[in-house]
Chain A
């Protein structure tokens, strides 16, 4: 059988879905084309697949709105408005907002003891996320209600950058104690640990600035909660 005919019949048998990648591999304009190709003929020494299949630009794994990953808990929608003190506290667009917080058991995602990560990144980057503000200065994350760990009141970490990545503010968001008490005593899996051991008023981060860092939280254990908070930065 002629090679062309064989390929044609094979592709037909494989289905349309396989045609595109194969065509892409043959394209001279493909992005992989500027790797170490050594030309055609018998002198080729570097296989074309050396650099891996079709590298393309990929955003950070942090760039995700739903940051729950594989963590379980009471759903929490996080709405953070970024405003600019240098512009009459108007909404700040295009600000990059990182948030991270602990899971229901009080643990943060990071390396295990071996320093190794799985290629399934959601198993290690949970409860960390990055969004960019729109024209209204708002970023929204879908997460779970954080737990607590000894010595700290419940909180969410926030790092705000300008659009070019320059740090504008590192801060934390506090939670109303009555909501925390409800979640930590009635909802699974929080209730096995009970209420937090550190109140906002005795927390070494929030004690002197709680008015600025306290969030508004509405909702219920069954319906989930929505956290709303405004952060003023100097941009």
Chain B
């Protein structure tokens, strides 16, 4: 049995349609316009990619603009949006995420693209059935109705979803993120 953590990257841009995505799009662009000015002191740049290439400190815009979406992340109630089990339910718990500006343009809102990578809590990877992972989100030793049974979920492998960490042990201990991503 292996313990894994899944990552899911959700891209939000001008084509995004859901209410939640539109809030993230609109408010992150508004915040981008405000924070961009701090680094663009000579008004020489229009896009995030050009600005950050010329002024490395502008990489902090990822963090600074993320403040605009924190409230929306909280509204997800720690369930990763976009990943459903085979019953069609959102189920995958997370408490870590990473917001990034893919690119943006102070002259053109339609060029604003951001992404949020959600990192799942540690999961037990029990089996692989076709294109589906059989997992359990209950990694502890909590009691079940039947000692022979553990609650499981089936989730399909899909674009923008990845296994980003793996631990070959039965012990449910957290895997330090910095060892994986650094």
Q: Of B73-81, B124-132, B142-150, B155-163, which stretch is located at the interface?
A: B73-81
Q: How far is the CA of A117 from the CA of B72 in the complex (A)?
A: 14
Please, which residues of chain B bring their CB within 8 A of the CB of A211?
none
Quick check: A55 and B67 within 8 Å, CB to CB?
A: no
Among B18, B23, B60: residue with most chain A CB under 10 A: B18
Sorting the interface of chain B by its residue count into under 10, 10 to 19, 20 to 34 or 35 or more gives 35 or more
Chain A min CB distance to B56 (Å): 14
Chain B min CB distance to A161 (Å): 6
Q: Of A32-40, A72-80, A132-140, A143-151, which stretch is located at the interface?
A: A32-40
Q: How far is the CA of A161 from the CA of B31 in the complex (A)?
A: 12
Q: From known contacts A50-B90, A53-B77, infer whether A116 and B72 are also in contact, taking CB-CB under 8 Å.
A: no
Chain A min CB distance to B99 (Å): 7
Query: How many residues on the A side are at the interface (Cβ–Cβ under 8 A)?
Result: 44
Q: Which chain B residues in 34-79 approach chain A with CB under 8 Å? A: 34, 37-38, 41, 60, 62-63, 66-68, 70-79
Quick check: A118 and B96 within 8 Å, CB to CB?
A: yes
Q: From known contacts A52-B77, A110-B60, A114-B177, infer whether A62 and B67 are also in contact, taking CB-CB under 8 Å.
A: yes
**Known pairs A45-B88, A52-B76, A52-B81 / 10 extra A-B pairs, C-beta < 8 Å:** A51-B20, A53-B76, A60-B31, A111-B62, A114-B181, A116-B97, A116-B119, A118-B96, A128-B67, A170-B41
Interface set of B (CB-CB < 8 Å, partner A)? 17-21, 23, 27, 30-31, 33-34, 37-38, 41, 60, 62-63, 66-68, 70-79, 81-82, 84, 88-90, 94-100, 119, 177-178, 180-182
Interface set of A (CB-CB < 8 Å, partner B)? 31-32, 34-36, 45-47, 49-62, 96, 110-121, 124-125, 128, 159, 161, 165-167, 170
